[in-house]
Amino acid sequence: MRNKYALFWMWMFLLPLALDFKGAESSSKVLQILLVVPTVAGGIALMLIAPRFARRSRLRSFVTAALLVTIVGSVVTQLVQGNDVGNYLRVILPFLLMLLGYFVGCHPWNQERLEQIEKVMFWSMVISLFFSFAYGWATGGGLENVRFRIVSVTFLCLQGLLLHEFVVAKRLTKMSVVLFLVTIVIELLSVTRSLLVGTVLLFMFATWLAAPSPRLLLKAGARATMIGVLLVGMAFAAAAVFPTVAEHWTQRIFFSAETESGRDPTTITRLAEMKDQYDQTTSSTVSLLSGMGYGHDYRYSPAYLPDLAGQMSAKDFYAIKEWAAGHNFWVYQLFAGGILFGLALPIGVIFALWRGSQAYRAWRRRAPDVLYLPVLGRALLVLASLPAISVGGNPLGNRFSGLVFGVALGLLVASYGRIAHAMRLRAMANPAQARPSYRPNFGPEYGPFEPGMGEGGPEMLPPQPAQTPSLTHGRHQPPSGSSTLAPLG
């Protein structure tokens, strides 16, 4: 059913939290609440008007169950541990928004709606990029303080989409190049090593996705090397123009050599935080199974106090007390939900990434004209930002990032299911060309030809798929979802 207000609901759903910011603990929360209310209202409206799947999907069922186990399990742990209710609600909110985003994205939207959702999400992340930079620069003070505030919470998500345009789709437009250069400049100004590592990881993942065969991987690797050399050259040029920034990077890289312990203080504090979370989780059988709960207090483990000699006094060390989502996503999930409720979400995300990327490479090699394949590729690169961000922080510690990751996960699962069913129909229409599998396919979603499950998946597809009208467009028409996310030309 068509709804003339669908685009309005999309903007209401994704735009408000792009203007999210961190206020002082003592400040009023009215504005923070006003940013969440329209997001929830827009999400519920989109869920009500969204089309429904007519076929089941095991991947969709598995990911949905993983998200629900995390959310419902957090309530169980909260009842067991009795943490501060306000802290619990603040920490669990990004996870709830991720669930809402997933339910919005995981529907068989038509081509027009898919393009609208992707473009609204793209432009919302662009707005978040510039808003975070402007707000952080205006309130942060000097570079040493401002660098913590100028990076958008969806920074790597936006870079993932731009890398899809450059590396996977091989589209270079003036605006997309300018946007990517802006992200590199902000990255250099932030003097954040983990952010730079995340960009490199996304670049490598995009290169791997774009090359479904060894020959293409070599070509993509050579192209990636050239782009990498250009980026390194730009970094050195920026260092020459901004010597203060270069000095800060030098201090960050070689700071550990100047400490008494010879170890990097930032790394030590992260390890001390994870050690305390792990010790609390394994302190009893109940906490190991159900976790300590979202919003539970944690400190630095005393085992790492000697490593911070000269950097932090014992008084300051023991005064540390935090309740927000921990800096390490994987350990914090175990800390918050235990074995029963904490591991489901990481497993669901990693499994969706693995299944989706394997199927994407197979489909890109054998049927590059299949519908919704570009949507799947973009969703993979946005969701891949989650483990990339976890190198130096918790990707679900902020509300807008939780929302974007949820939409990307929903688009990934929905696109995967639709393409898998389409490829099954294509293989059934060409049984003479399909290669026989020497072993059965375990647990198919849509029948015996589901891609990505065992060796009987993509290998069952014909080497030269037939041009099925329901799957492809004409020779001079682009496949669904293959257009750029925005008018960047």
Q: For residue 330, what pLDDT is reported?
A: 94
CA atoms within 13 A on the CB side of 174: 1
pLDDT for the residue 423: 87
The two tokens of residue 426 are 């294509």
Of the candidates 14, 3, 2, 36, which has an alpha carbon nearest to the alpha carbon of residue 120? 14
User: What's the distance, CA 463 to chain centroid?
Assistant: 33
- Report residue 360: phi and psi, to 5°: -60, -45
d(CA 296, CA 289): 16
Task: Give pLDDT, residue 18.
Answer: 95
Indicate the pTM of the whole model: 0.85
Residue 309 has a pLDDT of 78
Radius of gyration of the chain (CA): 23
Work out the angle between the directed axes of helices 6-14 and 30-49 (0-180°, nearest 10).
Answer: 140
pLDDT tens string, the chain, 489 residues long: the values are 467 899 999 999 999 999 988 765 555 578 888 899 999 999 999 999 999 998 889 999 999 999 999 999 999 999 999 999 999 999 999 999 999 999 999 999 999 999 999 999 999 999 999 999 999 888 876 666 777 788 999 999 999 999 999 888 888 888 998 999 899 889 888 888 889 899 999 999 999 998 876 776 676 676 667 766 766 676 666 666 666 665 555 666 655 555 555 567 888 899 999 999 999 999 999 999 999 999 999 999 999 988 887 778 888 888 899 999 999 999 999 999 999 999 999 999 999 999 999 999 999 988 888 889 999 999 999 999 999 999 888 999 999 999 999 999 999 999 999 999 888 887 887 765 555 443 333 333 433 333 333 323 332 333 333 333 333 334 334 444 445 554 444
| Rounded Cα distance, 473 and 481, in Å | 11
Separation of alpha carbons 184 and 189, rounded Å:
9
d(CA 218, CA 234): 24
For the stretch 251-280, what's the b/e string if a residue is b when 16 or more beta carbons lie within 10 angstroms of its beta carbon? eeeeeeeebeeebbbbebbbbbbbbbbbeb
Residues in Cβ contact with 169 at an 8 Å cutoff, skipping those fewer than 6 apart: 374, 377, 482, 484
Q: Which two tokens stand for residue 274?
A: 């994870």
Measured CA distances, 206 to 159, 209, 220, 254 (Å): 11, 5, 10, 30
